[in-house]
A and B are shown apart, each in its own frame.
Chain A
Amino acid sequence: MRRVLNLSLLDTPLELDPQVALRPEPFGALAYHYGTRRLVFVKHHDVVAVARQLAAHPSLSATLQACGIAESRWPSFAKAFATLNESEIVRERPSAG
């Protein structure tokens, strides 16, 4: 489960950790990691929407594009996903094969 640097995160293929469940909430979502038993607050609906789509796209930036997130907001998304990566909610997608 390799952690990735913030700088290259936009180019990285990511996915929700398979041990994570997302529960919709008025402020965004609660993410719970069954392995680490850690609960994380995902505090924006757009971040939740992007997180759910990560596995369908080749990189974080491609996911942001597909979700219609304006490029000016990408740095803040890169930051948010770096935090989620840090807390093992998302992870780098293992390459096929």
Chain B
Amino acid sequence: MSAPALVEELKRGLDAPICLTWELTYACNLQCVHCLSSSGRRDPRELSTTEAKQVLDELRDLQVFYINIGGGEPMVRSDFFELVEYAINPGKGRTGIGVKFSTNGTYIDAAKAQRLASMEYLDIQISIDGIDAATNDRVRGAGSYAMARRAMDHLASAGFGPFKISVVVTRHNVDQLDEFKALADSYGAQLRITRLRPSGRGADTWHDLHPTNAQQRQIYNWLLARGDAVLTGDSFFHLNALGESLPGLNMCGAGRVVCLIDPVGDVYACPFVIHDQFKAGTVRGDGGFAEVWKHSELFRSLREPQSAGACASCGSYDACQGGCMAAKFFTGLPLDGPDPECVAGDADSMLGAVRIELTPRPSLDHSHRRTLSLTTR
């Protein structure tokens, strides 16, 4: 089977996701301006330890090989280690599920780094969005760069091995890609760069943060030169319209090979579309996760052939596949048209015509409540 034939096959969906993201909590000590899940405060309805273990049992039965755990900040949960250990090492005769978790690093001290280093089938991804505190902290908050670097130092001292450094590419850090790679190399770590989405709080900041058209070409050329030495989560496939395809699957996996379980157990098509329109069901339902994955109306429709719409006449459609559904949705563009970052510029005039106040808003917001300081006499 050729690569395009495989992609066609994957678009019809798999029996279980390849890549499942599970956000354990909406609680987070940080308040990143581009947070996909608008995290901050814990949701009182979050899955209990028992419920979370039931979900893990179910994923194991479905032969989900590994899960990506995120949040919020997943280490905030007091049962974090209990759940990760249960996933990886469920007991005699049962296959473990590999875990990769994303963290801002705040809670990785020397002791926790030792504990993490002793676990098999565990990958850790520490987020930074700038190569220095000035660039990073503008997006992730004061002190966050120092905390992330301290966590990296602890993991390195504990002999964790090749952890991952995860960077969301913005117009302010595009020029730092070489330095990020050098930083990762200095730790023996792997660099992962991903695309900025207008999701969650990112809906409000995307217009100021997303790379310019010239910078997109810069990202493309940089990635092309590095092949699979840099991980991307296959998130830059919209750039394939610039020429040769980047490594990885050239398709939107939402509801087909990926999905998201949010902290309260709701299942969404992907981590970038926390909105009622893309909610397929809940793991708390009778059939659990499997029922949602296999039979939800939303996922079944996403596995049908999709219309190229306004892109049908563009010669690059096979290369870029019309880009990212979430990026279109939260910028108010039609789903069967160009990506807001279409490299041919086909979305530029459409974006100009969108009335910002009418664009869809993320359905949930767990941001920390702003403290109003009132001046009284």
**Residues of A participating in the B interface, judged by any CB pair closer than 8 Å:** 21, 23-27, 30, 32, 34, 37, 39, 41, 43-44
Contact = CB atoms under 8 A, between A and B. Distances in A.
B6 interface: yes
A37 B123 contact: yes
B98 A34 contact: yes
A23 B16 contact: yes
A27 B9 contact: yes
A26 B1 CA distance: 13
A36 B6 CA distance: 22
Interface residues of B, number: 16
B297 interface: no
A25 B96 CA distance: 20
Contacts of A27: 1, 6, 9
Contacts of B236: none
B42 interface: no
Determine the main DSSP class of B at the interface with A: loop
B15 A26 contact: yes
Given A26-B15, A27-B6, A41-B6, A21 B63 contact: yes
Contact of A43 (B6, B96, B98, B123): B6
12 contacts: A21-B95, A25-B14, A25-B15, A26-B14, A26-B15, A27-B1, A30-B14, A34-B65, A34-B96, A43-B1, A43-B6, A44-B1
B121 A30 contact: no
Q: Which 7 A-B pairs have the closest CB atoms?
A: A32-B65, A43-B1, A23-B63, A27-B9, A25-B14, A25-B15, A41-B6
Given A25-B15, A44-B1, A39 B65 contact: yes
A37 B66 contact: yes
B12 interface: yes
A37 B67 CA distance: 12
